[in-house]
Amino acid sequence: MNWITNYVRPRINSLFTRREVPENLWTKCDECGTMLFHRELRENLNVCTSCDHHMQISPRLRFEALFDNGAYAEIDVPAPVQDPLHFRDQKPYPQRLRTAQKATGEKEAMLVAEGEIGRTPVVAAAQDFSFMAGSMGMYVGNAIIAAAERAVASRRPLILFSAAGGARMQEGILSLMQMPRTTVAIEMLREARLPYIVVLTHPTTGGVTASYAMLGDIQIAEPGALICFAGPRVIEQTIREKLPEGFQRAEYLLEHGMLDRVTDRRRMRDELIVILRILQHMPPAVKGELPPPAEGPEAAPQPDAAAKKVAAQESGA
């Protein structure tokens, strides 16, 4: 018992805990303003329980919800040359990178993983908007190439969740070159006849939409997602007129023939399973929980047989 334990430690503790408690327990929906309990929101995949507004979701949380039992293996992404242009705006680029790494706990703006969804083996890549606006630089390019190569090597489809403000300006021309680079990756999948499904999430804009995010075999978007090449502000400045309500939102794009579907995040997994299994000539997935053993021996073999058939197809493919 001394000055340090009685005074300094509580002060330090209070500095660290004071801010965390209220912000972590409650999140305010940026659409309807409802205060949402943190755990409840998380269980609802960051979709507002009151107005269904889709908020940002981290790649990790998305993968936990996407893969069977939340189990997935991360795929390594080759590290690119850091700061090739020695770019400096108001801050040096490496400093911006470090800040983003600290804030997100992630290495970069894309996470790549493999695992099964509804017992369907897949490779998945998800862009992290909270990391420098998800911007596409060489790392993101390498991530997509790694994902495509892994998908081709293991004969799995690729699901890509996009979310980005566009190209990473701090990598200059090399960020622009990720447009052709990622397109090469998509070509690998196309030639291997493997499904490539893009799920566009809020927001997906600029060079990202003008390359891999618009080249899916199937294009799905989350409700309300802003999807565009040029942002609404740039367009308003150019044409000097007010844009219509809902312009460049997922529903607007669907109406204009630019998307296959707009799907609620909470139904996305089921839908992806259905689509992937049809495209790959697999039997329908077993929906819901497996029947409990108490129901009798005659009910049990069916899912087993289905699973075996799946396994046989996979090894034969």
Partner 1 sequence: MAARKEFLPMTHYLDFEKPLAEIEGKAEELRALARQNEGMDVEKEARGLDKKAHDILRDLYKNLDPWRKAQVARHPGRPHCRDYIAELFTEWTPLAGDRAFAEDDAVMGGLARLDGRPVVVIGHEKGHDTATRIARNFGMARPEGYRKAVRLMSLASRFRLPVVTLVDTPGAYPGKGAEERGQSEAIARATQKCLQIGVPLVSVVIGEGGSGGAVAFATADRVAMLEHSIYSVISPEGCASILWKDAERTRDAAQALRLTAQDLLKLKVIDRIIDEPLGGAHRDPRAAMRAVGSAVGDALAELEAEKPGALVRKRREKFLRMGETALPA
Residues forming contacts to partner 1 in the complex (CB under 8 A) are: 80-81, 83-90, 138, 141, 145, 167, 169-177, 179-181, 183-184, 186-187, 206-207, 209-215, 228-230, 234-235, 238-239, 241, 243, 247-248, 256-258
Identify the DSSP state of 53: -
Q: How far is the CB of 231 from partner 1 (least distance, A)?
A: 8
Letter string b/e over residues 95-134, b meaning 16 or more CB atoms within 10 A of that residue's CB? ebbeebeeebebbbbbbbbbbbbbbbbbbbbbbbbbbbbb
Q: Which is nearer to partner 1, 1 or 81 (CB)?
A: 81
Q: Are 186 and 214 in contact (CB under 8 A)?
A: no
Three-class DSSP category at 10: helix
Residue number, 223 or 229, with CB nearest to partner 1: 229
Q: Which of 126, 124, 116, 188 has its CA nearest to residue 158?
A: 124
**Cβ at position 118, least distance to partner 1 in Å:** 29
**Whole-number minimum distance, CB 261 to partner 1, in Å?**
16
Hey, CA dihedral for 123, 127, 131, 132, is it positive or negative?
A: positive
Q: What are phi and psi of 100, to 5 degrees?
A: -65, -40
Minimum distance of partner 1 from residue 193's CB (angstroms): 15
- Nearest distance from residue 256's CB to partner 1, in Å? 5
Nearer to partner 1, 61 or 247 (CB): 247
Give me the DSSP letters along 177-225: THHHHHHHHHHHHHHTT--EEEEEEEEEEGGGTTTGGG--SEEEE-TT-
Residue with tokens 């996009």: 162
Question: Closest approach of Cβ 3 to partner 1, in Å?
Answer: 46
Cα 180 to its chain centre, rounded Å, is: 21
Nearer to partner 1, 121 or 216 (CB): 216
Instruction: Give the nearer residue to partner 1 in terms of CB position, either 20 or 89.
Output: 89
Q: Nearer Cβ to partner 1, position 186 or 285?
A: 186
In whole angstroms, the minimum distance from the beta carbon of 61 to partner 1 comes to 27
For 197, half-sphere exposure in the C-beta direction (CA atoms, 13 angstrom radius) is 24
- What CA–CA distance (Å, rounded) separates 133 from 98? 14
Shortest reach from residue 126's CB to partner 1, in Å: 20
Residue 272's contacts (CB-CB under 8 Å, 6 or more residues apart) are 66, 117, 159, 197, 199, 220
Which CB sits closer to partner 1, 72 or 171?
A: 171
Q: Which is nearer to partner 1, 152 or 230 (CB)?
A: 230
